[in-house]
Amino acid sequence: MKTKINIYIAWALLLMVSVSCSDDFLEEKGVFGKYDDTFYESQERVDWYINNVYYDYFGSYTSPLSTLVGSYTQTYSRLTEEIGGMQDLINPTVEYKMANDGSGYYGTKLEAKVKNEPYHRIRDINSFLEEIDVKGADLDEDYRATAKGQMYYLRAIQYFDLMRVYGGVPLVTEVQDASSTDESIKLPRASVSEVVSQIVEDLDMAASLLPGSWSPSDYGRFTRGAALAQKARVLLTYASPLFNTSWDTSVERWQAALDAGLAAEVQLTADGYGLYGNSAKDWQDMFTIDNSFCSEAITVQLLGSGNSSNIINNSWENSVRLSSQSGSGGLSAPKEMIDLFPMADGSKPTVANGYDDFLFFVDRDPRFYRTFSFSGNKWGYKDNQDQSVWAYRWLGIGDDEIERAYFSDNNQVSSPAFVRKMSNIEESEDNFQNSGTDIFEYRYAELLLNIAEAYAGVNDIANATAYIGKVRQRVGIPSANNYGIGTLSSKLEAFKACLYERQVELAYEGKRFWDVQRWMLYNDDASVNNTTCADLGVTPLNGTNRTGHYLQYNGGVVTSDDPLATVRDGVVVDPDAADFENQIQNLATIYTNNFVLEDLETPLDNVNNVEVSIDWKQRYYIMGLKTDVLSLNPWLEQTIGWLDATGSEGTFNYQD
C-alpha cells in the first residue's frame, strides 16, 4: 500500500477558529507557555497547539509563486524572466542601501502579544519543545516523538528562510524572557555555517522522530522523507556560490549535499515516492491530484474549496484563467520564457535546431504544451472541457467611426502565450476564485535535480547527466543524445545544464528566484568574488528585459467584428490527440496567414511608461537588517553593503 503524503494541513488548521475552546487556547498560547500543567494532559489540546503553529506558517500560502514561510510574498517570483513588470528590487531608478530600506521579514520587537513573525513562530516552537516531555510526560511516548519531530522541522525551515534573506541570524533555541540587563540573551548574528549546522541538526532530529507516513486522520503532516529532502535542499544552497566562495575548487559542501540528497531518495523510494507517471499528460495531471497521495509530492499545501471564511483557497486558478473563462485575465508569458523551453528532442531552441520564435508552439518540449496555452490551444475547465482559447487583437473602426484595438473574447493579454501550468480542468468557472486545488511545495523531480547539481559539484558529470535524464524521460523526451542534453564536457557545463532544467521543470513553482540568488545570476562583480555568469556562460539578468507582444491580425484596419471568427471555427490543438502534429501544422498555417507579433504600446518592464532594463544591486543578494531591529538590538552587525542605524557601513560577512 502506498504511504500517505506529507501535506501542509491548512484545511484542518482552520477548524480551530470555529470551536468553542479556541479563544482559551489562543489566550494561553499568547503568553508563550505561561499556562498550567493541565494543558499538556490532553492530547487534543496539544494538537491545537501544533495545528496553530502549522497555520501560522502556511495560512498565507495560496499560490505557487509565493515564498518565505509565514508571509508568503509573490515579490521574489516577479524578479526573474518568468513574469514581466518592474519591481523595486530590479528597478534602475530605485536604490536601497540605508538600514530603513532593509527587508522587514525579520520581524519586530518580541512582546507578549502574539505576532505571526519569524521569531514569534520560533518561540512557539521552543516553548513546546521545552515542555512537552516535562508537562506532557503522561502523554503517549510515540505521540510526543512525532509532535516534536514536526516542531523541529518547522523550526528548521523558518531558519532556512531567515538564512536565505539575511545570511547569518541570531540562533534562539530556548525560550527567552525579555530583559534589559540579561547579557546572555544578547545573541549576535551567527555565521551562515552555524545557522546551517543548526538547521541540519533540527532536520536530522525531525527525521529520527517522524514516521514515513501518517494515518488517514493525520493526513498531511511532515514525514521522515520530507525532513531528509529538506536537508538536501538546505545543503545545496549552502554549497552554492552565494555562500560558498570555493564552490568551483572544493567538493566538500557539494558532497554533503549529494549525500543528503541520495539519503532522501532512498528513504522516499522506500516510502512509495517517486516521479509520477510516464508521460507529459501524467506530468500535467499530477498537479491536480487533490487531497490524496501523489508519489511526486514530498510536501504539499492542502487547500479547500468554497467561499467560507474558514477555508483557505487556491488563488492561482483564478489568476491564470483568461477573461473569456471568467478568470482574472491570465498570466502573460514573457518572450524570454516562451523561447526558453527545449525542442521536442530536448535540444536547445535555436534556429539551427529548427526553432521559429513566431511559430513558437511547433515541435517543442512536451512540457511546453502543459506549461503554456496559446491561441488555438485546447484549455478547458469543468463547464467546457473542450474549449479552445483565443487571445489576439485587431484594429477596427466601430460604429462611432473611431479606430481602436479590439481583442478576441475580451482576452487582453500582452503575450501570444500565457501560463496554464497547475490549472485544474476539473474546476468550474463559478469556483475559480474559491478553488481548492493543492499546491506542491517540494516535488520529487526537484529532489532529483538537487542530486544532479550536487553530482556536478563533485565533478561526476555522468551521474549529473543521468539524473537530468530521469526528469526528461518521464515526460517523453526521446533518449537520443542523452535526452537532448548532449555530452557535457565539464562540471561548469553540468551546472549550467542543471540550472536550465530547473527553469523548465520547475517553472512558475516559486523556485527560480532562489536559484538565481544562490548562483548570483543577476550580475558579475569580480571585486566581490562574483563571476558565476561568466563561469557558466550565461547572460546576466541585469540589462535584460521581460518582453511582451500582441498576437495581432495582419489584415489591416477592419470593423469591430472579429475578422477571424470563421477561420478559427472548429480549430483545436490538443496535445492528447492522436493527430496532434497535424493540428500543430494546421495552426501554424493559420498563424502565418493571419497574424504578426506587434510590440506593446507600454513595455512589460517600464517606469512611467518608458522601457527599462533589470538592474539588481550586488548588495541585494543578502538583505540588510532594518533600522528598528538594529536600534533595539545594537549589538547586531549590519550586513556588508548596507548602512547601519548610525549610517556606518555594515560589517557582517555572510560568506564565511
510-563, pLDDT tens digit by residue? 999 999 999 999 999 999 999 999 999 999 999 999 999 999 999 999 999 999
pLDDT tier at 19, thresholds 50, 70, 90: very low
- Residue 28 is predicted with a pLDDT of 45
Measured distance CA(533)–CA(495) in Å, rounded: 11
- Residue 20 is predicted with a pLDDT of 28
Measured distance CA(634)–CA(649) in Å, rounded: 14
**Mean pLDDT, residues 54-71:** 96
Q: Per residue in 109-139, pLDDT tens?
A: 766 567 899 999 999 999 999 999 999 999 9
**Mean pLDDT, residues 9-24:** 33
24, pLDDT greater than 50: no
Give the rounded distance of the alpha carbon of 626 from its chain centre.
Answer: 25
3-class secondary-structure state, position 525 = strand
Measured distance CA(159)–CA(67) in Å, rounded: 14
- Residue 36 is predicted with a pLDDT of 61
Q: Per residue in 298-340, pLDDT tens?
A: 999 999 998 888 899 999 999 999 999 999 999 999 999 999 9
Extract the C-alpha cell encoding 197.
Answer: 549546522
Between 18 and 428, the more confident residue is 428
Q: Are strands 372-374 and 549-553 parallel, antiparallel or unpaired?
A: unpaired
Query: What's the one-letter identity of residue 400?
Result: D
- Residue 329 is predicted with a pLDDT of 98
Q: φ, ψ for residue 631 (rounded to 5)? A: -70, -40
Break the chain into its structural domains and give their ranges: 325-420+550-599
623, pLDDT greater than 60: yes
Could you give the C-alpha distances from 265 to 84, 197, 230, 268, 594, in angstroms and in order? 36, 21, 11, 5, 50
Cβ-based neighbour number of residue 137 at 10 Å: 12
12, pLDDT greater than 90: no
**Mean pLDDT, residues 406-425:** 98
- Residue 40 is predicted with a pLDDT of 87
- Residue 258: HSE in the Cβ half-sphere, 13 Å Cα cutoff: 17
Rounded to whole angstroms, the maximal C-alpha distance in the chain is 83
Extract the C-alpha cell encoding 423.
Answer: 490549472
Q: Per residue in 204-250, pLDDT tens?
A: 999 999 999 988 777 778 999 999 999 999 999 999 999 999 999 99
Q: φ, ψ for residue 298 (rounded to 5)? A: -85, -45
Is pTM beyond 0.75 here?
yes
- Residue 241 is predicted with a pLDDT of 98
Measured distance CA(139)–CA(44) in Å, rounded: 11
- Residue 473 is predicted with a pLDDT of 98
Extract the C-alpha cell encoding 340.
Answer: 526558453
Between 103 and 34, the more confident residue is 103
160, pLDDT greater than 70: yes
Between 303 and 4, the more confident residue is 303
